[in-house]
Chain A
Amino acid sequence: MAKFQISRRKFLTGASLGVSGIMLSGCDAFDSQLGMGDGLRSFLENANSLTYRAQRLLAGRDALAPEFSEADIRQPQRPNGVTAPDDDTYKGLLANNFADWRLEVTGLVEKPLSLSREQLQNMPSRTQITRHDCVEGWSCIAKWTGTPLSLVLDQAVVKPEARYVMFHCLDTIDRSLAGEIKYYGSIDLIDARHPQTILAYGLNGKPLPVENGAPLRVRVERQLGYKMPKYLYKIELVDSFANVGGGRGGYWEDNGYDWYGGI
């Protein structure tokens, strides 16, 4: 009995020393296991798909994001990420007030489209006052006006094998050895056809400013800001995003953010 007690005591002492050791040495103890592709990181990422499924199950297809009143618009929409693209193509389009800009709709569609700003604005529009939630933690309420993405998809006639909408943008978000990386991102067809998912060209009653994504940006109101690309020029219907960028569905996703971005 005495011997057993000593070993138990030793165990307890050792355990508490171990725990306090980890705490005192700081949390860099886990750094080497948490990079993209590391074992522990990959294991923990399994929870992302559980989180995604739970949100899909609970929110379904059509549950609406809360909408707010004019009185809740208390400030200009806070811009984030790229706010003034330095790309020659973009600057050229901007100089001409986007008269030469087109929205291409390609990929798994029966009728590829090339829409001018006027054509988009002549389609039925939706205006909504919603709260923009950035992954960083801040929120900002603004009024967005745009063309429901579902109308554009209907016009292009999506092929049955299409599963995702890939957004391609004009702004350079990063540079790699392979060259400039333009912003890209994706949502699935459920969110693409959600009634509040619009291609916005208006903000707070005025044309969309450059810092907020002129001439066109995505609004996906049940998800975080990084799921709403700005400076949009091409929509591509795909059955998989494995071959786009790093294969995780978007620029930020390829840098470690979860694909769904609903929490």
Chain B
Amino acid sequence: MESVAMTQPSIGADATTLKETTLIYRQSRWTRLTHWLWAISLFFMLLSGLQIFNARPQLYIGKQSGFEYNNTVFAIGAENTTTGPRGYTEIFGHRFDTTGVLGWSGPAGQETSRAFPSWATIPSYYDLGTARVVHFFFAWILTATLVVWLVASLVNGHLRRDLAPRLDDLKRLPQDIIDHAKLRFHHTREYNTLQKMAYGGVLFVLLPLMIITGLAMSPSMNSVLPWLNEVLGGRQTARTIHFTVMLLLVGFFIIHMLMILAAGPINELRSIITGWYRTDPPAHDDKPAERSV
């Protein structure tokens, strides 16, 4: 199934030339299934995680939370001012007014003091217990999906063929950066270098780090892996890393969406739903520079 390709004629911008575009089977069912399980899990984990954060909207560095000393690196809160309550966000001691979104938010006239606004949390009202139920349910789904994907990708060659870095990737990196900056996308069977870095970074760095720092916050797991928090710098540092990796994953998601929109959302979505992807027609002889690798 992997190598099946269908060639069909389609009308190009210049109606007089008949361009050959090719539909290739690009994403295996394992890649597509795990992709959507991750999408669902991460959606619920993010929004339940923000609810959990709201229970203690401060991040610290070290083994414990400084109540009588200051090791806070990030805080969201609300304060009374002469013009009424304001929400603020404090990063390394620098305070920003974030009224309406972070710290103080809600429908007009019914604002409340809450770190992340109700539209960004599950449940929308304050409920730490329920958020934990949702968070840990999807933590299992996410982790199981990661294991299934890893095994399937080792077996079906997805890892070796599509994600493993090659010397060639390094060579084409500068051109890839230029192409992305100019929103000039090549639709090929292979991932480009930046794609490999992004997908590999999420799957082999960010998601494992998320799981590890999640476990490091568990007092029962601390008795199994007591060295884990020592490596990470303490339970509260682990919590801060957990939050930071969340921000990086959200950053990945935003770029992922923008790239899909820019590269052609129908084609990109089709490939991750049905597996079939329309590649660029072979470049014309008078434009050899645009031939994709």
* Interface of A toward B, CB cutoff 8 Å: 8-9, 12, 15-16, 26-28, 30-31, 34-35, 41, 44-48, 50-51, 55, 58-59, 63-66, 68, 72, 74-76, 78, 131, 133-141, 221-224, 252, 255-258, 260, 262-263
Could you pull out 23 A-B pairs where Cβ atoms are within 8 angstroms? Answer: A16-B265, A26-B119, A27-B47, A27-B119, A34-B127, A34-B134, A44-B133, A45-B137, A51-B136, A58-B224, A63-B223, A64-B223, A75-B68, A76-B67, A135-B55, A137-B52, A139-B236, A141-B64, A222-B223, A256-B127, A257-B129, A262-B218, A262-B221
* Interface of B toward A, CB cutoff 8 Å: 47, 52-53, 55-56, 58, 60, 63-69, 118-125, 127-130, 132-134, 136-137, 139-140, 214-215, 217-224, 226, 229, 235-236, 239, 265-266, 269-270, 273-274
Q: Please indicate the chain A residues that have their CB under 8 angstroms from the CB of B137 in the complex.
A: 44-47
The CA-CA distance from A236 to B121 in the complex, in Å, is: 39
Q: Identify the 6 closest CB pairs spanning chains A and B, nearest first.
A: A256-B129, A262-B220, A137-B56, A26-B119, A75-B68, A263-B218
Structural contact, A27 and B124, CB atoms closer than 8 A: yes
The CA-CA distance from A138 to B53 in the complex, in Å, is: 10
Which among B55, B140, B226 is the interface contact of A136 at CB below 8 angstroms? B55
Structural contact, B219 and A26, CB atoms closer than 8 A: no
Question: Which residue of A is nearest B226, CB measured?
Answer: A66
Structural contact, A139 and B124, CB atoms closer than 8 A: no
Q: Please indicate the chain A residues that have their CB under 8 angstroms from the CB of B222 in the complex.
A: 65-66, 222
Which among A34, A75, A252 is the interface contact of B69 at CB below 8 angstroms? A75
Structural contact, A31 and B67, CB atoms closer than 8 A: no
Question: Which residue of A is nearest B225, CB measured?
Answer: A58
Structural contact, B128 and A31, CB atoms closer than 8 A: no
Structural contact, A137 and B122, CB atoms closer than 8 A: no
Structural contact, B65 and A59, CB atoms closer than 8 A: no
- Given A30-B123, A262-B220, A263-B221, A140-B133 contact (CB < 8 Å): no
Additional pairs, 8, CB under 8 Å, beyond known A131-B219, A141-B64, A256-B127:
A16-B265, A27-B118, A34-B127, A41-B133, A59-B221, A72-B64, A133-B235, A224-B219
Structural contact, B273 and A12, CB atoms closer than 8 A: yes
Structural contact, B269 and A16, CB atoms closer than 8 A: yes
